[in-house]
Amino acid sequence: MTIIDSRDITGLEGEVRLSEASARDFFALLKPRVMSLVVFTAFAGLVLAPGTINPVLGFIAILCIAVGAGASGALNMWYDADIDAVMTRTATRPIPAGRIEPSEALAFGLVLSVFSVSILGLTVNWFSAGLLAFTIFFYAVVYTMWLKRSTPQNIVIGGAAGAFPPMVGWACVTGGVSLDSIVLFLIIFLWTPAHFWALALFKMRDYGSVGVPMLPNVSGERVTKHQIALYAVLTAITAVIPAFTGLASLYYGLFAGALGIYLVLCSIAVWRMADGDEKMLPAKKLFAYSILYLFAVFSALLVDHYVVTLATLFGGTA
Ligand code: HEM
Ligand SMILES: CC(C)=CCC/C(C)=C/CC/C(C)=C/COP(=O)(O)OP(=O)(O)O
């Protein structure tokens, strides 16, 4: 018997397309583009941590963090399906578009969460697994179900979820937390407001249409622009700290400083933008640069780490 639904109007060919689309849709539930940078910061935490980890275990650890991050994205999309259906940016996501049932997304998110945490605990260590579980809980429950719809400080507090991954990576190697891993946490924690409020400024109407209390909608553009500049300065300063704690060299510090100065300049351009500006070009530029910035800072930490390690080896054998 042929099942007729809106996606199956061309017989067998339609059915084949349906199953292909389903795999893509389940993949989309993992928020792969956002989570790729999250996983990269976790990888950096794992590499920068003192000590070593068996490469196979390191690979399993990163896979578990990627799956756990994706699972939290699926749970976020399950809970937010009602507002995602209304906002133009999110209306075509698999659940609001009707391509995945909410119950399927919930089951998918829960199974992947349990799977990723258990495998990480059984193969690597239970401290990192506990931290991964806490991170998933923080994003899916604390941010998505509670803060997002109740306070304009939602992403400041909720942003902690996005900042934990390097600490999870670090804990995979050391089994604990250290000052250096807290600095990595702080860089992302302080970066999140400039990253997200830039987007919230040019997507104000979307958030207003669903009543989500994002800062620009609640306190207005001016306050948001001041807050963005404040957090950009704090981020730029914090990102230089690894050069002083010994986690990275002074060359890293100079590079991170230059990246930070440009972040602050972009945020000042947003500050100077007239309220009510329709095009919001400086905000769009800041959002795009914020992503490049975080990627560049964590890449610089990795490159610096390898260069210093090689230099030490070379110096040691010379
Ligand atoms: C509470 C914290 C955060 C909030 C509210 C937030 C919000 C957003 C939103 C709404 C988008 C647009 C996504 C889309 O339309 O698909 C976005 C894009 C993005 N975010 Fe964030 N973000 C947060 C934290 C992070 C973190 C921690 C990272 C990485 C470490 C990150 C990396 C990215 C990337 C790479 C994109 C671009 C995705 C693309 O090109 O489609 N975000 N963010
Ligand atoms: C290891 C692990 C569990 C990592 C999780 C990392 C994490 C919390 C990333 C946050 C990414 C993100 C897109 C937040 C926006 O949610 P939103 O609901 O405000 O955005 P939306 O409107 O696009 O859905």
CB 194 less than 6 A from any atom of ligand 1: no
Q: What is the 154 CA–ligand 1 centroid distance (Å)?
A: 14
pLDDT at 120: 98
Residue 291 Cα to ligand 1 midpoint, Å, equals: 8
Which atom of ligand 2 has the smallest separation from the CA of 31? 13
Taking the CA of 198 as reference, the closest ligand is: 1
Whether 173 and 50 have beta carbons less than 8 Å apart is answered as yes
Ligand nearest to the CA of 138: 2
- Structural domains of the chain, ranges and CATH numbers in brackets: 23-177 (1.10.357.140), 178-311 (1.20.120)
Mutational test site, ligand 1, from 33, 93, 138, 195, max ligand atoms within 8 Å of CB: 195
Ligand 1 midpoint to CA 252 (Å) = 25
Cβ of residue 297 lying under 6 Å from some atom of ligand 1:
no
How many alpha carbons lie under 13 Å from residue 24 in its C-beta half-sphere? 7
What's the confidence (pLDDT) of residue 316? 58
Distance from the alpha carbon of residue 9 to the mean position of ligand 2, in angstroms: 35
CA-closest residue to ligand 2 atom 8: 162
Count of beta carbons in the 10 Å neighbourhood of residue 53: 19
* Closest C-alpha to ligand 2, atom 2: 69
- Give the residue, out of 39, 80, 153, with the most ligand 2 atoms within 8 A of its beta carbon, to mutate for a pocket test: 80
Note the pLDDT of residue 3.
Answer: 34
Residues in the chain with pLDDT values less than 50: 1-21, 317-318
* pLDDT attached to residue 279: 85
Give CA–CA dist 136/141, Å, rounded. Answer: 8
Residue nearest atom 13 of ligand 2, based on CA coordinates: 34
- For residue 279, which of 202, 217, 192, 209 has the smallest C-alpha distance? 202
Give the residue whose CA is nearest to atom 9 of ligand 1.
Answer: 196
CA 142–ligand 2 middle distance (angstroms): 12
Q: Is-contact 133 118, C-beta < 8 A? A: no
**Tokens coding 64:** 């578990």
Check residue 68 and give its pLDDT.
Answer: 98
pTM of the model: 0.92
The runs of H, that is alpha helices, within the chain are 12-29, 32-48, 55-79, 81-84, 102-123, 126-137, 154-163, 165-174, 179-202, 204-210, 215-238, 242-245, 250-272, 281-317
- Kindly give the number of the ligand 2 atom that is closest to the alpha carbon of 154: 19
Could you tell me how many residues make up the chain? 318
Which ligand has the shortest distance to the CA of 67? 2
Residue found under tokens 């500006």: 277
- Does ligand 1 lie within 6 Å of residue 37's CB atom? yes
